[in-house]
Structure 1
Amino acid sequence: MGPFIKFLFSKTFIINLLIALLLLAGGLYATLNYLDDYSLHGQTLEVPNLEGKNFEQMDTLLNPTEFTAIITDSIYLKDKIVGEIVDQDPKPGKTVKQGRKIYITVAAAEPAKITMPDLVDLSLRQASSLMETYGLVVGKLSYRPDLCVNCILEQQLDGKPIAAGTKILKGIKIDLIIGHGLSNELTQVPYLIGMNTSMAESVLLSSYLNVGAVFYDADNVLTATDSAQAKVYKQSPFYSEGPTIQMGSSVDLFVTMDTNRIVHTVNPTDTL
């Protein structure tokens, strides 16, 4: 047996090999622990409920090593205090990784002002798109006999004509007077079951109809977020296969957060 082979089986080599393996294992363990702490691997937390709190309280409400709050939007709400958090993402109760950013929307001191666009002679679709870019909301639709079918004849605020260029508050509703030819035209009542109110309103507008009264399920529609996410479980009048209702009419909506109340008596794909 050669000297090198004898060395491999010697007590000195075996001791040195064991020491080297222990040092390697220790180094590997320390590295993994460092990476684990650095990346916060395996550490998750439940997102707290910040809605209703004031943004100035964030230093006491959130541990900076756990969450960071970032304002992404502000909105004016009459019943909210300036700086009050009205929405958050992720939502309360969701399990996320430690160090996650929480994006919040706070109540503004006053609504922003914009310049009223000129909607006259546009189609309803064009006017709706333009109003959305300005941060305006389509209000009540009324129809007037006119040769220009589906053209905007007049734009109104609080029942009075409003001229293009007028400074108005962002987010308000603008009522539209639309031409519908020289006869009383009928339109189809669309199928709205399962839609949120925003989507239902958009579908109604495309059928030249208005949203009537909105009835919220008192058992589960409790917050502004619930109101936005609640789905239609009943509508009046109900869906019609053909034109049965006069343009400009209203459709009442009944909405809920309880998905068990949403029953499709008509296949939604058959209504498209």
Structure 2
Amino acid sequence: MTVKEFFEKFKAPMFWGNLLAMLVVIIFLCFGLKWWLASYTHHGEGIEVPNLYGMTHRVAVHRLDSIGLVVVANDSSYVEGLPAGAIIQQNPAPGMKVKSGRIIYVTINSLTMPCERIPDLIDNCSYREAEARLKSLGFELLSPKLIDGEKDWVYGIQYHGRNLVSGESVPRESELTLVIGNGSLGEEKDSEGSDNGDSDAFSSDEIDDFLEVLE
């Protein structure tokens, strides 16, 4: 086939007719695919996610089921002031538009108060340091209990009258009592030191006798 015969085929009506038919088929396929995707994914349709904060899990399930959504609790945490089992977080956020059947993941308020471990404070630090560390962990401190010992030194930690040990887990926000020294130990040492000083000192009569001997 010569080059001239090859280019003459492009002038044939059948060639252009087939090309036009193929183009029409491709256009129809594109529009058909777009319509099918819009119908399958409900394009342009959406359900607004309600605000579930503070609701119990049971109420949230009932409410979202009525509008075609699903609630799944996937985590728990603790927020003071909210009842146990109340929803404290959700994903997707309130106000977002989602498709029917979408799962709304929620975090519920813990049924029990989380615990914290007692740090190594007993016979290891002062009252001021222990107070700061325990408050930072969320504990409440009652008036300290005073015993004989070095002033403001921590000798123990009590919870409901029971002595705690380092590393023991106690519910957060519990009321603890620090057992600290009242300073009597230091006063005893001072008094003992002063008594020893008096016994070691010479009296005026002893000094006079000592001088007479030298003379």
**Normalised TM-score (structure 2):** 0.50
* More relative contact order, 1 or 2 (CA 8 Å, 6+ apart): 2
Which of structures 1 and 2 has the bigger CA Rg? Answer: 2
Greater share of helix: 2
Greater share of strand: 1
